[in-house]
A and B are shown apart, each in its own frame.
Chain A
């Protein structure tokens, strides 16, 4: 166990515990706040692994944008404040979910741990530094990178279009006889 191992164990314990709390808590807003703790400490785990750029992007995008979006969505959908039992599925379904989650963890661990057994990364002389990542992004990976900007634009327009679509539908719904009669009557009187 080196010092980095110890630090990563501590940060990883915080990450796993807060992730567990965010999927089990009975309070809706607390789930989002525990998710914030989990993603923030995962950014710390990236720092320990020697990827400063990924850690900072994780802080900016996940903690700064996605969790805030989730909190806004909770507010806009009138999330109940205080403990609320209705946010969980029935008990048998939760037991099945726990079994499936444990099975996923076991499967992945039994696959990954032999793969990474004995593998070490020497982070004092790192192989991928931030300038190398930048060169790779704008060199080898430049076309996927440009495609991602198109994807972001499409997602933005798509999210806007989804809400506009329903607004149009709501506006088209009240084509009822009452409205046409009331709007026609004064015009006919004047003409």
Chain B
């Protein structure tokens, strides 16, 4: 026998801690940790309510499994968005002033344009090889 007010109190505590975690962090991944804590508070409350005698349709554990699945889907998309944000801006600080310029002049553009990319036609790289070969031959002679 277990008194169900204990898990209900723990669920309330976890939800409060999660709200603090969402509001007190700047790092986007750590904000997600707060969201996970809130979701777990909801799960614990579902299990608690489901273990009352006479709960119909096994709704407590089944809905908990569903919420866990939805949380997995949610965090996959959220982490993909965070990684894209890191690739575009170089940080994942949620309080930073967003860069709203329409035409992003990425500093890496110049460095990449010099390299022969995979989109270049093969003639270009062949020409580059042809330019390099006489130098190599000259080194071999001397």
Residues of A within 8 A of B (CB): 2, 4-5, 8-9, 12, 15-16, 19-20, 22-24, 28, 31-32, 35, 38-39, 42, 45-46, 48-51, 53-54, 57-58, 61-62, 65-66, 69-70, 72-74, 76-77, 79, 86-89, 93-94, 96-98, 100-106, 108-109, 112-113, 115-124, 126-128, 132-133, 135-137, 140-141, 144-145, 148, 151-152, 154-156, 158-160, 162-163, 165-166, 170-171, 173-174, 176, 178-179, 182-183, 186-187, 190
In the complex, what residues of A have CB within 8 A of residue B5's CB?
112-113, 116-119
Segment 1-26 of B: residues with Cβ below 8 Å from A:
1-26
Q: What's the dominant secondary structure at chain A's contact region?
A: helix
Contact B76 A166 (CB under 8 A): no
The 10 closest A-B pairs by CB, nearest first: A97-B23, A105-B16, A23-B21, A101-B20, A155-B73, A108-B12, A136-B58, A159-B80, A109-B12, A101-B16
Known A-B contacts: A22-B37, A100-B19, A122-B1. Give 19 more (CB < 8 A): A2-B1, A9-B6, A31-B33, A46-B44, A53-B61, A61-B69, A66-B36, A69-B75, A79-B29, A87-B30, A101-B23, A104-B15, A112-B8, A113-B9, A136-B59, A145-B66, A155-B72, A171-B119, A182-B124
In the complex, what residues of A have CB within 8 A of residue B74's CB?
155
In the complex, what residues of B have CB within 8 A of residue A9's CB?
6
A87/B21 contact (C-beta < 8 A), A123-B2, A128-B51, A152-B73 known:
no
What's the nearest-Cβ distance from chain A to residue B97, in Å?
15
* Candidates A31, A166, A176; contact of B30 at CB < 8 Å: A31
